[in-house]
Amino acid sequence: MRPVFWFDFNSPFVYLAAERIDPLIPDAEWRPFAFPLMLGAQGRLEEAMGRDPHAAIEAASGRIAERGLPPLALPAGWPAATWSLHPLRAAVYADEQGRMREFVRVAYRRFCAEGLVLSEVANLRAAAEAAGLDPDAVLDAIERPDIKQRVKDNTDAAIARGLPGIPTVEVGGELVWGDDRLDEAAALAERADGH
């Protein structure tokens, strides 16, 4: 069973993980899901939305600087005001086109380094184009019932598995939460492969 990289588009910690997971766990399946809906199902949404975001911004900013990425510049109103299903659906379409990783990385760079809200059509179009996708096809795809269903199915699966947060890497049924634990997830994946 392949490792699974569970993510949503509203966390700078997912950005950090997406930028470095491929060399560590190259065969991981990237699986977008609606994190706030999972939190709601777990009864944790109100608590999560009530937290002061400054501690998370400070921690993420430090890691981003250590890794030589552009400084963190999240959109105003993050996290509550910037969540959207549109980039999740666009990622599912990008996966159909063999461009999931490219789209996720471009979209996250725009979100975290340029402060662009991914639910805005112009920003989603620009990210799609930069990732080698047809922007019009992406906008059509995010309204397709089968793509909406795939995001819902992924979200239901995340709820059923009891994911603790994002990013999470699932290896052989074990859930490893946090961009700072990717090395641990990679070691588990190597052992699972018999290396």
Tokens found for residue 132 = 């080698």
Are 82 and 119 in contact, with CB atoms under 8 Å apart? yes
Query: Residue 29 has what pLDDT?
Result: 97
Does residue 105 sit in helix, strand or coil? helix
* CB burial of residue 136 (10 Å; 0-12, 13-18, 19+): exposed
φ, ψ of residue 99 to 5 degrees: the values are -130, 25
Query: Residue 50 has what pLDDT?
Result: 63
Query: Residue 56 has what pLDDT?
Result: 87
Query: Residue 47 has what pLDDT?
Result: 74
Residues 6+ apart with CB under 8 A from 161: 170, 175
For 9, 123, 134, the CA distances from 90, given in Å and listed in that order, are 11, 12, 11
Q: Provide the whole-model pTM.
A: 0.94
Query: Residue 54 has what pLDDT?
Result: 85
Which residue's entry shows tokens 């939190």?
A: 39
If the chain, 195 residues long, is cut into consecutive pieces of 10 residues, what is the mean pLDDT of each piece?
A: 95 96 97 94 76 86 95 90 93 98 97 95 97 98 98 97 95 95 96 76
